[in-house]
Amino acid sequence: MKEERARTIYRKNYTPPNYRVTEIGLEFKLYENETIVQSKLKIESLEKDLVKPNPLVLDGEQLELLEIKLDGTTPVMDRLASQSLRFDYAHVTVGNCNPCRNVMFSGLISHNNKVEGFYKVPNPGWPHMVDLLKDAGYYAGIRGKVTHSSPYQPYDWNEDLTILEDRSKAHIKDAKSYGESTARGIANAKKHGKPFFLSVNISDPHKPKLTGQVWMGGLLGKAPEVNGVKIAGGPQMYQLSLDGKRMYVTTSLFSTWDNQFYPEIRKQGGAMIMIDCDVENGGMKINKDFIVDFGKEPNGPSRCHESRYPGGDCTSDIWL
């Protein structure tokens, strides 16, 4: 708490509060490096007859606000979401940063949009989604991953929100600046009298949360055997199903590396495992009824790294 000099408060200067707190509930979650406090207040206004009641101000010292809700909702965000489109299962066909964003903005797989790596394509031969949105009257802005979101640079966005008002560049780990950039983009769209499209790419999450984990093979020895098969190697190539509920994992990366870290894989071969993912509540677990033991393949033992599965139950046309 701040140390302040005591000051005299006179009864004649006292005014009744505009609100009354009738209930207080506090929940503390203690962690090694932080404490998260959930405070639930039941507050009653004493100015019910006023057309415009005085604002309620909540002060906190040495605290970081993570979330605030009114009657169990976030009114401003809920109002924004009600005017927006939501895509629950939107996937791209490649996991790499630059190619995947151009898949999203073109609607074409990497082989057809020509952006297959971290290089620029001056004449891609297809309209970028930003072009289509601008033609439809939208204000298009972007924050983060600017050079990875179009086939070449510079691209004709209405605004690069990564550049701050003082012309400096926002830091990738400055979580607060993402909100400021978003608010500025919305305000500028409103100033131009246009609906907005903002691509806000949070490439370095401020506080990631672990929602689940599983173990298979690896150097730590926590799961040397899975579904009755001894695992040589560790998880290295991942493939998510189209609905996000199944994750396929293989255990071989590259023979030279495999032989250095997991020499037994030469005799045992690799394995493919399926992980069930809970897309509603978070969490994951290894499917007990699925495993492919490449050590028992004909002419094996074999290593499993990647295979093409175009048009199948996967989110990529490159891996597994």
Q: Is the dihedral of CA 14, 17, 22, 26 positive or negative?
A: negative
Structure tokens at 248: 């396929």
What CA–CA distance (Å, rounded) separates 134 from 158? 8
Residue 47, CA distances (Å) to 14, 20, 70 in order: 17, 10, 18
Q: Is the pLDDT of residue 141 over 90?
A: yes
Find how far residue 112's CA is from the centre of its chain: 27
Q: Is 215 left (phi over 0), alpha (psi -120 to 50) or beta?
A: beta
Q: Is the dihedral of CA 190, 192, 196, 197 positive or negative?
A: negative
Q: Is the pLDDT of residue 132 over 90?
A: yes
Amino acid 319: pLDDT? 45
Amino acid 134: pLDDT? 93
Q: Is the pLDDT of residue 160 over 60?
A: yes
pLDDT bin (cut points 50, 70, 90) of residue 320 is very low
With a threshold of 0.75, does the pTM exceed it?
A: no
Domain ranges of the chain: 11-82, 97-200, 209-320
Amino acid 135: pLDDT? 93
What CA–CA distance (Å, rounded) separates 4 from 21? 26
Q: Is the pLDDT of residue 317 over 60?
A: no
Query: Cα-flanking dihedrals φ and ψ of residue 76, to 5°?
Result: -65, -50
Buried b (16+ CB within 10 A) or exposed e, 182-213: bebbeebbeeeebebbbbebeeeeeeeeeeee
pLDDT tens digits, one per residue of 82-122 = 777 777 766 777 767 788 888 888 888 888 888 888 888 98
Amino acid 318: pLDDT? 47
pLDDT tens digits, one per residue of 268-315 = 888 999 999 998 888 899 999 999 999 888 887 888 877 556 666 665
Among 121, 122, 127, which residue's Cα sits nearest to residue 99?
Answer: 121
Amino acid 2: pLDDT? 54
